[in-house]
Amino acid sequence: MTNNTGSALDAAALGPGDHVEVHGNGHIRYSGYIEDTMPQLNIVWIRELRTGERRMLFTDECRIFRDGT
């Protein structure tokens, strides 16, 4: 079960290995693991579980939650 009842997280609150869900436009866009962060620029890189692709995300353009499963 996903724990997304709290506040969305920014890059400073996330670290490598964190399992996250990325929400945008009212639905889950990506699910994956944080690989790297650049808190100064509000950027995180995730490895998407479904496709294995590495994605760069701006935390001010989406809502990121830790997956509590």
Beta strand pairing status for 19-24 and 27-38?
Answer: antiparallel
What range does the domain containing 38 cover?
11-66
Residue tagged 């290995």 (tokens): 17
Rounded to two decimals, the pTM is 0.81
pLDDT, average across residues 9-17: 90
Confidence of residue 49 (pLDDT cuts 50, 70, 90): very high
User: What residues contact 7, with CB distance under 8 A and at least 6 apart?
Assistant: none
3-state percent helix, strand, coil for the chain, nearest multiple of 5: 10, 50, 40
Confidence of residue 53 (pLDDT cuts 50, 70, 90): very high
Measured distance CA(38)–CA(54) in Å, rounded:
15
Q: Is 41 part of any domain?
A: yes
Q: What CATH number is given to the structural domain containing 22?
A: 2.30.30.520
Confidence of residue 1 (pLDDT cuts 50, 70, 90): very low
